[in-house]
Amino acid sequence: MKRKIHSGIALLLSVSLLCACAADTSTQKQPQEKEADAEESREEEPSAGKENGQEAEKQEQEPEIAFPVGEGQRPQMIDWGRMTDVTVTPNVTPYEIAADLSNVENLEQFYFEDPMKEKLAENGFVVFGSAGWEFYEIYETNRYGQIPNFVTVDSLMHTYHLYFSYLLKGIEKKQLSDALRQLSERMMTDSMEQYEQLKGSEWENAAKRNVAFFTVGASLLDDTVVPADYAADMVREELAKIEKGGGIAGSAITGDEEDYSQYAPRGYYKGDSALEQYFKAMMWYGRIHFKQEEEEMDRSALLMTMALTEDAQAYALWESIYAVTSFFAGASDDLGVCEYAEAAREVYGEDLALDKLNAEQDAFARFHELTGTLPAPQINSIPIFDGEDNVIRGFRFMGQRFSIDASVMQKLLYSQVRENSTGGIRMLPDVLDIPAALGSETALEILQEAGETEYAGYMENMEALRTQLAGENTSLWSASLYACWLNTLRPLLLEKGEGYPVFMQGEAWARKDLECFAGSFTELKHDTVLYSKQVMAEMGGGYDEEIDDRGYVEPEPLVYARFAVLADQTAQGLKRYGMLEAADEENLLRLSQMAGQLQTISEKELREEALTDEEYEFIRAYGGNLEHFWYETIRDTADEGGAVPAPAALVVDIATDPNGSVLEIATGNPSRIYVVVKVDGKVKVAAGSVYMFYQFLWPLEDRLTDNKWHQMLGIEPDETGEYHYDLEILQPAWTESYRYQYEWD
């Protein structure tokens, strides 16, 4: 017996652009001020490719991506307008690396075993061991040891992850959690009033179902909530299943199967009681699905839509939560209040009241027929049985969010791809599916070597995805901070050929770039685990002498240019929502300026232009800058003894096989990278920090938390206070060409 899944997209930024019903609901008991606010927001918001005729023409020529939900062009959430393409022709003169490294000027600063020397000579770099608990540490060590720094994309992307999660966590804890509690209470009360008016009619069961639905949500946020007698049994059953979190079971609310293991708090939510409550409630509102094809579920969805749009305060709360979370993680591709409100107005008119439901009984049949024509999602996140229709239209109160990567993975799983030659079915993706779909030949070759491409239909779907994603679709990549983060990583996948430094030209560096992509992608999924929809397959010390320690920046100017825009837009967007403190705005500006400096330096390196003393000093002091951002994001989490968490190592599940397993991706402590670079004509070794990436299967009922992962890595003690390092999970085999391990590792 097998199961399957889907998802789509509707991207919006300001309150006025949030969804189709946002502007219209001002006529449905919305405050009059809402019209003025919406107009002001529209004036401030950049248009989606309509600033001039050329931009409009450019977007019309972009390849059509089969991702959006709804009609019309997706509004831009991020303004990429100020960023021009980085056009640098790399022109680094080739330099030799002697087989015995005899021409490396500062070799005596390091102790390299013979196998490490061999990899340095062959690849121009080697990755080894641990660089400490955090990415900044090796750079500070280098500074005091007068060792040249090698500034990595990894270290910069990790720093953005720290700030992204810090900001989102603060907003959730200080603002969204209370807003969700108020919204749940109002919707529970409004649904109870609907039930009282509809008792004895054919709408009674739908109204009771909604009372139970919102009572569960309210109870997850406040355990003192007392359910109405007529809904108490459903509420208690759902709460018990959520608390147990055992796996897939039938829902008392919808009658469909639900994966209750998803409600186990993880990521940064674990360990904070307020955030754990928020996690469970948002997961509930994001996952519970009211199937359109079932009339009873569609009745519930209509009543829910009426209750929300008729209650101005409830709607304002819903909209404020959805807007800011969409800015971070993207919009939902599920049908929701926006689409259902528009359908209801078309059938019932502007004045939609409960008494109309019984008086105009034929109208619901028209409404139900109309909702059946609305776009279906693309990412399946609920268990369904093999052979069922894989297009599952339905309503979610605050659906989990569409992401490009999840849509890619969905199209490369069973039953979008069929059996391989041995009859095996692809129930879980590989993280390399994403960079392969984004154009990485190296990722595709690794997948081919592993036999992942042998499933019937895999390569056809992969080629279609690559064609669709090949263009610079501005609206797609500017949909949210999530999308912009992913877009910032894309230049890593470009082939580095002639004119680049010798260490970047080989296959080993291309694989190292894949580990950087995968490591940063792990942090992205970790930070958005609550919001991003998850795919599911169908079931089935110093020196006395002065040493030349001038360092080097990994020359990825386009990454740094996009990063600068990402940091700027993070600040501008949150400031527009009134959710950014002055100190955080200053830090994000500082991050953007750092990226700008790295872009300038890397462009000079690729043109072999001399750096200034100030630029070399910036590289030398890089660790101190990173440490500043690290401290800013963790200072409030230190315990009474001054101990701080180790945020570098983390784990997140990204896909589910309903037969009993999940795909976990994780990072460990950062690794050290040693690179043979040429600085001012001298060949030398520079050192920096890079991601350590893992990918593995794990039991569905035991989705890993960061704490458990830290125990497995020996970073934190177990429940008895003992430290263990019994990790049998190895890094992917494709990292072996450039990594070195002691025999006892």
Asked whether residue 131 falls in the same domain as residue 32, the answer is no
pLDDT category of residue 97 using cuts at 50, 70 and 90:
very high
pLDDT of residue 333: 83
- Between residues 32 and 180, which one has the greater pLDDT? 180
Question: How many Cβ atoms sit within 10 Å of the Cβ of residue 200?
Answer: 8
**Residue 22's pLDDT is what?**
37
Residue type, 300: S
241 with 183, same domain: the answer is yes
| Cα 691 to the center of its chain, rounded Å | 17
Last residue of a domain, one of 351, 372, 397: 397
pLDDT of residue 222: 97
- Is 287 inside any structural domain? yes
Residues 508 and 738 sit within 8 Å (Cβ to Cβ): yes
Q: 63 by DSSP, 3-state: which?
A: coil
Choose between 388 and 87: higher pLDDT.
87
How confident is residue 386, by pLDDT bands cut at 50, 70 and 90? Answer: low
Kindly give the interhelix angle for 177-198 and 312-329, rounded to the nearest 10 degrees: 140
pLDDT tens figures, 689-725: 999 999 999 999 999 999 999 999 988 888 888 888 7
DSSP summary character for residue 381: E
pLDDT attached to residue 471:
78
Structural domain total, the chain? 2
For residue 685, tell me if it sits in a domain. Answer: yes
pLDDT tens readout for residues 235-249: 999 999 999 988 899
Dist CA 149 CA 139 (whole Å): 6
Is residue 600 over pLDDT 50? yes
Please tell me which residue, 634 or 436, carries the higher pLDDT value. 436
Is residue 474 domain-resident?
Answer: no
Whether residues 124 and 60 share a domain: the answer is no
Domain assignment of residue 266, given as a range: 3-75+173-397
In the block, tokens 């979190």 appear at 245
Between β-strands 552-553 and 150-151, what pairing exists: parallel, antiparallel or unpaired?
A: parallel
CB 654 within 8 A of CB 674: no
> Nearest Cα to 710, choosing from 664, 654, 655, 666?
666
Per the model's pLDDT, the better-predicted residue between 124 and 60 turns out to be 124
Tokens of 522: 């792990």
Residue 561 has pLDDT above 80, yes or no: yes
502 and 372: one domain? no
Rounded to 5°, the CA angle 141-706-431 comes to 90
Instruction: Out of 356, 377, 397, pick the residue that ends a domain.
Output: 397
H or E segment to which residue 625 belongs: helix 622-634
Cα–Cα distance between 167 and 165 in angstroms, integer? 5
Alpha carbons 714 and 708: distance in angstroms, whole number: 10
pLDDT digits (tens, 9 = 90+) for 415-449: 899 999 999 999 999 999 999 999 999 999 999 99
Q: What is the pLDDT of residues 8-35, one digit of tens each?
A: 222 222 333 334 343 333 333 333 333 3
Same domain, 659 and 720: yes
Cβ burial, residue 173 (10 Å; 0-12/13-18/19+): middle
Q: Is 678 helix (H, G, I), strand (E, B) or coil?
A: strand
Pair (48, 143) in one structural domain = no
Q: CA end-to-end span of the chain, whole Å?
A: 41
379 and 349 together in one domain:
yes
Query: Would you say residue 159 has pLDDT above 80?
Result: yes
Q: What does each C-alpha distance from 741 to 446, 731, 737 come to in angstroms?
A: 21, 11, 11
Question: Mean pLDDT score of the chain, rounded to an integer?
Answer: 85
Q: Under a CB-based contact definition with an 8 Å cutoff, are residues 469 and 67 in contact?
A: no
Identify whether residues 17 and 145 lie together within a single domain. Answer: no
